Structure 1
Amino acid sequence: MKIIKIFLLFVIILTSCKKNDGVINFTFLQLNDVYEIAPIQGGAFGGMARVETVHKDLLKENKNTMLFMAGDFLNPSLIGTLKVGGERVKGKQMVEVMNAMNFDLVAFGNHEFDVSKDDLQKRLNESNFPWISANVKLKTKDTVSSFYKERKGQQQPVNKTFVKEFTDADGTKIKIGFISVCIPSTPKDHVEYGSMFAEAKASYADLKDRVDLVFGLTHVKLANDKKIAKLLPNLPLIMGGHEHENSINFVGNVQISKADANAKTVFVHRISYDKKTKKTLVTSELKEINIAIKEDEKVAAIVTKWQDVLNTKLKDIIKNPAEVVYTANVPLDGRDAAIRSRQTNLGSVITKAMSFGFNNNVDAALVNGGSIRIDDQLSDAITAVDIFRVLPYGGAVLKVDITGRLLKRVLQYGKLAKGTGAYLQRYNATVVDKAWYIKGKSLNEAKTYTVAFSDYLLKGFDIPFLSDKSAGVLKIYKPSEKELSADIRKVVIAYLKLETKKRAN
């Protein structure tokens, strides 16, 4: 009996002293470009509470799991436009949800700089997760320094790089580093953008001798990610954002991955590293976040709290915010890059609806691309809430009598404003070889036209020579509160309902 006990003890000691094999496995869960905390498309896809269930399952599978956001989450969102306690939300709901999910690392995206300097500082201070960026800096009149979190009067700078250490069950240890850069597409007085490529290269040089592996967490165009991959061929993986459709690309041995926006999908990267051979194996799974995934209760409670606030506000404007008003068999493109540079099908829907709001008794309709804030595509079931997400600031549609001479200047300015919020989405206004046509006929500068404008365009912000006081603006009809055109969102919803009825017949 004594011999058996000694033998068992010997086995236990041997088992507990399992030799370090030099191989370690870890997992990355990647999200990018998430603006909505709740499920989208009638509840079919997305939802941060569902993502958290996936996150917890991965942690059970492997404790060495990290959760990432590759930029763009504070803005735009419909909730972010609301006032709660006298203050605009401006991404507060997203930070609260992400704190509950215990994000491990986030990158700045260009939309983080849509919010004001003060609001961004509040969100940084509220966040419990680390941020990273090598090329965005806080600029004042006198200095350029790192963005920071303020805690108990102390400033904690956002670092250029981030290092994480993993240990597995047999004692294998590894240090991994992360670099990050952001596309300089949102110019602000308080932001200085350094070179994406020079800063990525410098960050890698700083990390490479201090860690076993370096990964990228970026928010730049795919073409820029590919340039970074060429500069840094030893990166096993770049987790990227900015584009809104899932993709995997390779430049040499560097994998570049981007998930779908609004957590329609996430990437699960299972990574194995052999310390002896220095070889890295990345196995990536694109996972759809859908109704089959149960919601995490803790995160769902936070989401519900914010959705209740949203629904309460929306019901003051529209009776049934969750109503499906249209089914888009072809996605309606409201992405910033598209809506601010070319005529899109979503732009056509909005401007046709503006004309519909006046019983099509106008010659044309115009809306500035910057009023369309969803930065995403709408597909399948589209709800009234989705239309509010597209046009969160609302505003009236105005019927304006305008001289052909001024209208031509407006159209030309909107065309030349390609890439900015002043670019015009149009209905019944086309250009061929620099010649403008209204309803298929050459624009006559001596004629008076009746045009449906979004009210923002008559404020002189996007187009400086166009306002309600412009000499070429002859008459403005502003609808009363009871009229459909008093709110551009109501007009679009009513128009889509009509199109749905036409389909049914």
Structure 2
Amino acid sequence: MKGLKKLFVLSMAVASTTMLPLLAMAKDIVILHTNDIHCGVEDNLGMAKLSQLKKDLSADNHVILVDAGDAIQGTPLGKMSNGTAIVDIMNAVGYDFCIPGNHEFDFSMDNFLNNIVPRQKAGYYSANFTDLRTNKPVLPAYKIIEAEGKKIAFVGVTTPSTIVSSTPSFFQGSNGEYIYGFAEDEKGKAVAKVTQKAIDEARKKGADYVILVTHMGMNGSQERYQSEMLIENTKNVDAVLDGHSHERIPSWLIINKKDKRVVLGQTGTKLKSIGKLTITEDDNMQYELVTKIDKADPVVQNVINNVKAPYEKILAQPIGESMVVICHDDPKTGERMVRKQENSLGNLVADAFRTVMGADIGIVNGGGLRKDIPAGIFNYNNILQSMPFGNMVSTVEATGQQILDLLEMASSKVPGESGAFMSVSGMSYTIDTSIPSSVKLDPKGMFEGVEGPYRVTNVMVNGEPLDLNKKYIVAGPGYTLKEGGDGMNMLTKGKLLKDASISESDAVIEYIQNYHDGKIPADYANPYGEGRITIK
């Protein structure tokens, strides 16, 4: 039934441009939408062009600008400023409404609440972000903006998977108990319920339109928390401006709880496009993606230049030379490899962790790697672009069984993507995709066990079969080993040997400079690795 429903939805989306015509009027209401900027203020269309688009459209329309999360993290500029530099640029562009994505919390809860929230002039909103100690919302659920005699309510929703896709300890108290939550549950009903409450409140306050601004996602997101599921379990919503899964969705129509059609759009990532939702005088609504903007706003470009200036000398420092491109993306297709298959960047980083930390095994999660390292002379900026999160490297003593469970969960979505996918050093393994994943998760998305046969087989550690009872020293991001990030909590049960000894970027720099005389060797020439991971 669900498959048939989705086919209907997609077929309706094809016809949407004729069913929902854009009619001329003196002042249309135009809602511009960004998501998953990830600090890419000068990537693709860029913030200066976005600002110019906003100004140009404002001549004939009432323009509102909203962001659906994951803006402040993703490049060295975000990391070195703890996100504040990105907020300053967003303020210059003139946002009206923002929500936190899972990565708004990457620089700690304290940083988000005390630095980012007060700094953002548009304000942050989330209907499902709750302080569990008081059962009260941390942020306002919605904001009503009046435009052309209409009241438009924007309701924020942050994915409940934030608990595991950011650093879990940031949402915990001193005893490890969760003190913040995002309405996590086993079926995704809780987040729909709290969202509906906000929708109903906004309608009671006279909202003519209700727009959900969500960081939920579609493909690659936990199914129970996908934006489509949220629409299907709510009512009285006119449109959903989404983020999180980095997809470009140029206006789907999804059927809601009352069999009404709801517009759903998403813009991709790093300003590859800008969402544009137009509401006409006679209540017609159309969503489209803007993919070309000719001019840039010189005022905002000047702000960007000034914000970047204090960091440029540090980032330009040369680190070494690479004989080859170290690949995050597939050179044949341009698609990222690090979340679904072996790749040269993952191999290099895992090798660095294992070697520098003196471990048996090195691991790194694909979600922690973000960009190729270029061939030739490369600098600090290149390293931080590849590993922008600022995680620390730790070592733990783990059993073979715990390591097998780690690989099983990391491989659960192959051939699809997962930020938990593991590149490895000192070991190899096979993923049998003919075996369905039977990984069981708790309501927060944490690993509970494997209920059927393992799809990960033939695990070898330094040439020997993995011994489930033996203990191994594993080096990797504290995000995985200590925090259980991405729900990978199995190694948190191991004995912590070295806690946050060195940052990820410094470990890679040390590996290149001290173990390879400042040159990344041609050993990493194959973008697809050396046969450490076999997928069949």
**TM-score band, normalised by the shorter chain?**
0.5 to 0.7
What is the alpha-carbon distance in structure 2 between the residues aligned to residue 226 and residue 380 of structure 1? 38
Is 1:213 the counterpart of 2:202? The answer is: no
Query: 2:67 matched to which residue of 1?
Result: 69
Output the amino acid matched with 1:179: V
State how 1:95-494 maps to structure 2 within 5 Å: 95-121=87-113, 122-139=115-132, 141=133, 143-147=134-138, 158-167=139-148, 173-187=149-163, 188-189=171-172, 190-194=179-183, 195-209=190-204, 210-222=206-218, 224-247=226-249, 248-252=251-255, 253-274=261-282, 280-288=283-291, 293-318=294-319, 328-333=331-336, 339=339, 343-346=340-343, 348-351=344-347, 366-369=362-365, 372=368, 374=370, 385=381, 387-392=383-388, 408-409=400-401, 411-416=403-408, 418=410, 424-426=422-424, 429-431=428-430, 434-438=456-460, 443=465, 445=467, 454=476, 463-464=491-492, 465=494, 484=512
1:282-335 superposed Cα distances (whole Å, 9 cap, x missing partner): 22221226xx633322221222233333332223353799x987783323537x
Computed over aligned residues only, the root mean square deviation of the Cα atoms, in angstroms, reads 4.7
Give the TM-score normalised by structure 2: 0.64
Tell me how far 1:98 sits from its aligned partner.
Answer: 1.0
- What is the percentage of aligned positions where both structures have the same residue? 17
1:444-486 superposed Cα distances (whole Å, 9 cap, x missing partner): 649x99999558699867634366579xxxxxxx999776165
Tell me how far 1:100 sits from its aligned partner.
Answer: 0.8
Tell me how far 1:184 sits from its aligned partner.
Answer: 1.4
Query: 1:15 matched to which residue of 2?
Result: none
What is the alpha-carbon distance in structure 1 between the residues aligned to residue 31 and residue 110 of structure 2? 32
317 and 271 in structure 1: CA distance in 2 versus 1, 3 angstrom threshold: same
Q: Could you tell me whether the CA contact under 8 Å between 1:331 and 1:379 is conserved in 2?
A: no
Query: 2:20 matched to which residue of 1?
Result: none
Secondary structure in 2 matching 1:249:
strand
What is the alpha-carbon distance in structure 1 between the residues aligned to residue 498 and residue 126 of structure 2? 45
80 and 319 in structure 1: CA distance in 2 versus 1, 3 angstrom threshold: same
Output the amino acid matched with 1:198: K
Tell me how far 1:26 sits from its aligned partner.
Answer: 0.9
1:132-171 superposed Cα distances (whole Å, 9 cap, x missing partner): 22111245x5x34343xxxxxxxxxx4222111122xxxx
Query: 1:54 matched to which residue of 2?
Result: 53
163 and 380 in structure 1: CA distance in 2 versus 1, 3 angstrom threshold: farther
Q: For structure 2, which runs of at least 5 residues remain unmatched after alignment?
A: 1-23, 164-170, 173-178, 184-189, 256-260, 413-417, 432-453, 485-490, 500-505, 528-536
What is the alpha-carbon distance in structure 1 between the residues aligned to residue 478 and residue 105 of structure 2? 22
Q: Could you tell me whether the CA contact under 8 Å between 2:28 and 2:60 is conserved in 1?
A: no
54 and 24 in structure 1: CA distance in 2 versus 1, 3 angstrom threshold: closer
What is the alpha-carbon distance in structure 2 between the residues aligned to residue 454 and residue 388 of structure 1? 17
316 and 191 in structure 1: CA distance in 2 versus 1, 3 angstrom threshold: same
Query: 1:90 matched to which residue of 2?
Result: 82
Is 1:31 the counterpart of 2:24? The answer is: no
Tell me how far 1:36 sits from its aligned partner.
Answer: 1.5
Secondary structure in 2 matching 1:344:
coil
93 and 422 in structure 1: CA distance in 2 versus 1, 3 angstrom threshold: same
435 and 81 in structure 1: CA distance in 2 versus 1, 3 angstrom threshold: same
Tell me how far 1:414 sits from its aligned partner.
Answer: 2.3
Query: 1:16 matched to which residue of 2?
Result: none
Tell me how far 1:39 sits from its aligned partner.
Answer: 2.5
Tell me how far 1:130 sits from its aligned partner.
Answer: 2.6
Secondary structure in 2 matching 1:72:
coil
Tell me how far 1:114 sits from its aligned partner.
Answer: 2.5
Output the amino acid matched with 2:227: D
What is the alpha-carbon distance in structure 2 between the residues aligned to residue 357 and residue 193 of structure 1? 33
Give the TM-score normalised by structure 1: 0.68
203-212 or 252-261, which deviates more? 203-212
Q: Could you tell me whether the CA contact under 8 Å between 1:49 and 1:300 is conserved in 2?
A: yes
Tell me how far 1:91 sits from its aligned partner.
Answer: 0.9
Q: Could you tell me whether the CA contact under 8 Å between 1:354 and 1:452 is conserved in 2?
A: no
Tell me how far 1:77 sits from its aligned partner.
Answer: 3.5
Q: Could you tell me whether the CA contact under 8 Å between 2:273 and 2:290 is conserved in 1?
A: yes
Tell me how far 1:363 sits from its aligned partner.
Answer: 12
381 and 144 in structure 1: CA distance in 2 versus 1, 3 angstrom threshold: farther
What is the alpha-carbon distance in structure 1 between the residues aligned to residue 462 and residue 509 of structure 2? 33
Query: 2:77 matched to which residue of 1?
Result: 79
Q: Could you tell me whether the CA contact under 8 Å between 2:127 and 2:140 is conserved in 1?
A: yes
203 and 487 in structure 1: CA distance in 2 versus 1, 3 angstrom threshold: farther
Q: Could you tell me whether the CA contact under 8 Å between 1:396 and 1:487 is conserved in 2?
A: no
221 and 421 in structure 1: CA distance in 2 versus 1, 3 angstrom threshold: closer
Tell me how far 1:203 sits from its aligned partner.
Answer: 1.6
1:161-212 superposed Cα distances (whole Å, 9 cap, x missing partner): 2111122xxxxx2222222221112331252323320112112222224122
What is the alpha-carbon distance in structure 2 between the residues aligned to residue 395 and residue 284 of structure 1? 38
What is the alpha-carbon distance in structure 1 between the residues aligned to residue 269 and residue 209 of structure 2? 27
255 and 358 in structure 1: CA distance in 2 versus 1, 3 angstrom threshold: closer
458 and 302 in structure 1: CA distance in 2 versus 1, 3 angstrom threshold: same
Tell me how far 1:232 sits from its aligned partner.
Answer: 3.8
What is the alpha-carbon distance in structure 2 between the residues aligned to residue 353 and residue 117 of structure 1? 27
Q: Could you tell me whether the CA contact under 8 Å between 1:459 and 1:468 is conserved in 2?
A: no
For this pair of structures, how many residues does the alignment match? 421
Q: Could you tell me whether the CA contact under 8 Å between 1:138 and 1:191 is conserved in 2?
A: yes
Secondary structure in 2 matching 1:235:
coil
Q: For structure 1, which runs of at least 5 residues remain unmatched after alignment?
A: 1-20, 83-88, 148-157, 168-172, 275-279, 471-477, 501-505
Tell me how far 1:61 sits from its aligned partner.
Answer: 3.3
324-333 or 180-189, which deviates more? 324-333
Q: Could you tell me whether the CA contact under 8 Å between 2:82 and 2:107 is conserved in 1?
A: yes
Q: Could you tell me whether the CA contact under 8 Å between 1:75 and 1:114 is conserved in 2?
A: yes
What is the alpha-carbon distance in structure 2 between the residues aligned to residue 192 and residue 480 of structure 1? 34
487 and 196 in structure 1: CA distance in 2 versus 1, 3 angstrom threshold: farther
1:239-281 superposed Cα distances (whole Å, 9 cap, x missing partner): 111110111321132111011111111111222142xxxxx32
Output the amino acid matched with 2:143: F
What is the alpha-carbon distance in structure 1 between the residues aligned to residue 392 and residue 196 of structure 2? 49
Q: Could you tell me whether the CA contact under 8 Å between 1:29 and 1:65 is conserved in 2?
A: yes
